[in-house]
Amino acid sequence: MTEENTQKIGDKIIEVIKTIYDPEIPVDIYELGLIYDVFVNENKEAKILMTLTSPNCPVAETLPVEVEEKVKTLEEIDHAEVEITFDPTWTQDMMSEEAKLELGFL
Protein backbone atom coordinates (compact mmCIF):
# COMPACT_ATOMS: atom_id res chain seq x y z
CA MET A 1 0.00 0.00 0.00
CA THR A 2 1.45 3.32 -1.03
CA GLU A 3 1.57 6.43 1.11
CA GLU A 4 -0.96 8.00 -1.26
CA ASN A 5 -3.36 5.08 -0.65
CA THR A 6 -3.02 5.32 3.11
CA GLN A 7 -3.69 9.07 2.87
CA LYS A 8 -6.86 8.41 0.83
CA ILE A 9 -8.02 5.82 3.35
CA GLY A 10 -7.21 8.23 6.17
CA ASP A 11 -9.38 10.85 4.44
CA LYS A 12 -12.22 8.31 4.14
CA ILE A 13 -11.91 7.54 7.86
CA ILE A 14 -12.18 11.24 8.66
CA GLU A 15 -15.30 11.50 6.48
CA VAL A 16 -16.88 8.64 8.44
CA ILE A 17 -15.86 10.21 11.76
CA LYS A 18 -17.53 13.46 10.65
CA THR A 19 -20.87 11.59 10.75
CA ILE A 20 -20.51 11.03 14.52
CA TYR A 21 -21.88 13.77 16.74
CA ASP A 22 -21.42 14.50 20.42
CA PRO A 23 -24.94 13.95 21.79
CA GLU A 24 -24.80 17.12 23.88
CA ILE A 25 -23.31 19.41 21.23
CA PRO A 26 -24.70 19.70 17.67
CA VAL A 27 -21.24 19.42 16.08
CA ASP A 28 -19.41 16.34 14.81
CA ILE A 29 -16.53 15.01 16.90
CA TYR A 30 -13.93 15.83 14.24
CA GLU A 31 -14.88 19.51 14.08
CA LEU A 32 -15.00 19.54 17.89
CA GLY A 33 -11.30 18.66 17.85
CA LEU A 34 -11.73 15.32 19.63
CA ILE A 35 -9.75 13.40 16.98
CA TYR A 36 -6.03 13.90 17.51
CA ASP A 37 -4.67 11.51 14.87
CA VAL A 38 -5.59 8.74 12.46
CA PHE A 39 -3.11 6.00 11.55
CA VAL A 40 -3.53 3.41 8.79
CA ASN A 41 -1.15 0.58 7.97
CA GLU A 42 -0.75 -1.81 5.04
CA ASN A 43 -2.60 -4.56 6.96
CA LYS A 44 -5.88 -2.63 6.64
CA GLU A 45 -5.73 -1.65 10.30
CA ALA A 46 -6.67 1.77 11.61
CA LYS A 47 -5.85 3.40 14.91
CA ILE A 48 -7.63 6.55 15.99
CA LEU A 49 -6.17 8.67 18.77
CA MET A 50 -8.92 10.73 20.32
CA THR A 51 -9.96 12.50 23.46
CA LEU A 52 -13.22 13.38 25.15
CA THR A 53 -14.41 16.78 26.30
CA SER A 54 -13.80 15.57 29.87
CA PRO A 55 -12.88 12.33 31.66
CA ASN A 56 -16.43 12.26 33.07
CA CYS A 57 -18.00 12.62 29.62
CA PRO A 58 -21.36 10.78 29.61
CA VAL A 59 -20.47 9.04 26.33
CA ALA A 60 -17.02 7.88 27.46
CA GLU A 61 -18.12 4.25 27.16
CA THR A 62 -20.08 4.48 23.92
CA LEU A 63 -18.39 7.11 21.74
CA PRO A 64 -15.08 5.23 21.17
CA VAL A 65 -17.04 2.06 20.31
CA GLU A 66 -19.16 4.02 17.82
CA VAL A 67 -16.00 5.39 16.18
CA GLU A 68 -14.50 1.88 15.90
CA GLU A 69 -17.71 0.40 14.50
CA LYS A 70 -18.20 3.11 11.87
CA VAL A 71 -14.56 2.99 10.75
CA LYS A 72 -14.78 -0.80 10.38
CA THR A 73 -17.64 -0.34 7.89
CA LEU A 74 -15.07 0.89 5.35
CA GLU A 75 -14.08 -1.91 2.99
CA GLU A 76 -10.44 -0.72 3.17
CA ILE A 77 -10.34 -1.40 6.93
CA ASP A 78 -10.38 -4.84 8.58
CA HIS A 79 -9.59 -3.71 12.12
CA ALA A 80 -10.07 -0.42 13.94
CA GLU A 81 -8.90 0.57 17.38
CA VAL A 82 -9.58 3.76 19.30
CA GLU A 83 -7.15 4.95 21.91
CA ILE A 84 -8.39 7.58 24.35
CA THR A 85 -5.93 10.13 25.67
CA PHE A 86 -6.26 13.21 27.84
CA ASP A 87 -2.83 14.52 26.89
CA PRO A 88 -3.22 17.22 25.80
CA THR A 89 -6.43 18.02 27.59
CA TRP A 90 -9.23 19.08 25.26
CA THR A 91 -10.11 22.76 25.28
CA GLN A 92 -12.52 24.85 23.22
CA ASP A 93 -9.49 26.17 21.32
CA MET A 94 -9.24 22.76 19.61
CA MET A 95 -12.56 23.23 17.85
CA SER A 96 -12.56 24.18 14.18
CA GLU A 97 -13.72 27.64 13.16
CA GLU A 98 -16.87 25.95 11.81
CA ALA A 99 -17.63 24.39 15.21
CA LYS A 100 -16.98 27.65 17.06
CA LEU A 101 -19.31 29.48 14.66
CA GLU A 102 -22.01 26.80 15.04
CA LEU A 103 -21.85 27.06 18.83
CA GLY A 104 -21.78 30.86 18.87
CA PHE A 105 -18.18 31.24 20.09
CA LEU A 106 -17.25 33.55 17.19
What residues have CB less than 8 Å from 3, skipping those under 6 apart? none
Of all residues in the chain, the percent with pLDDT exceeding 70 is 99
pLDDT digit string, tens, across residues 7-26: 899 999 999 999 999 888 88
CATH of the domain at 46: 3.30.300.130
Instruction: Average the pLDDT over each of 22-26, 79-83, 98-102 and give the range with the smallest value.
Output: 22-26
Residue 104 lies in a domain: no
Number of domains in the chain: 1
Rounding to the nearest 10 degrees, give the CA dihedral for residues 12, 15, 16, 22.
150
Residue 16 lies in a domain: yes
pTM: 0.91
Domain with 12, as residue range(s), is: 3-89
